[in-house]
Amino acid sequence: EWNRVPFGALWIPGCGGILSLPSGYIYSPYYYGDGKHVECVWKIETAIHEHIVLDFYTVNRRMNCRTDYIVIYDGDLYSRQLGRVCSFPFQSYTSTSNIMTIVLQRQSYDSGDSFSAYYYSIAQGNRFLQINTLVHIGNFCTTHLRVQYGGCF
């Protein structure tokens, strides 16, 4: 199911996959901007009784929302959408279960990397959680601080 390539879509190495570690980075492959349809699907599945938090660090500013975008699903493919990303500003997304699916669609003439993101799992029912990450991407660093209290961020 996850190795499928939709009709008319181009397969690119590193485009999608199944991620089962409690945390990790997702980097989209380079898109050549030739107008060919590319669909990448990443399924994140962590331990039972955990949520998944997804933080975007970079999103290509030339992605247009009509043909180039990222969809985040709360569970398997085509579950309820948590969001659709195609430009700034972007936010964190948290699943209601231990599964989250990210789909990248590209079909424009703008080349470049599409996005980079970091995901991590948190136990369901955590009353207090503080996560501080420092990420180096390209020539800059970015810091994210999240505080959760009583199930709210």
Q: What is the DSSP letter of 77?
A: T
pTM for the complete prediction? 0.74
Residue 81 lies in a domain: yes
| Closest by CA position to 83, among listed 60, 62, 100 | 100
Contact between residue 133 and residue 143 where contact means Cβ atoms under 8 Å apart: yes
Average pLDDT over residues 52-66: 84
Question: What is the extent of the structural domain holding 23?
Answer: 17-125
How many domains does the chain divide into?
A: 1
Residue 51 lies in a domain: yes
Residue 133 lies in a domain: no
Average pLDDT over residues 2-22: 65
CA pair distance 125, 129, nearest whole angstrom: 10
Tell me which of 20-34, 107-121, 129-143 is least confident.
129-143
- If one compares 1 and 64, the residue with the highest pLDDT of the two is 64
Residue 148 lies in a domain: no
pLDDT band at 143 (very low <50, low <70, confident <90, very high): very low
CA pair distance 18, 131, nearest whole angstrom: 24
Q: What does the pLDDT look like over 20-47, one tens digit per residue? A: 999 999 988 888 878 888 899 999 999 9
Here the CATH number for the domain that contains residue 86 is: 2.60.120.290
Residue 2 lies in a domain: no
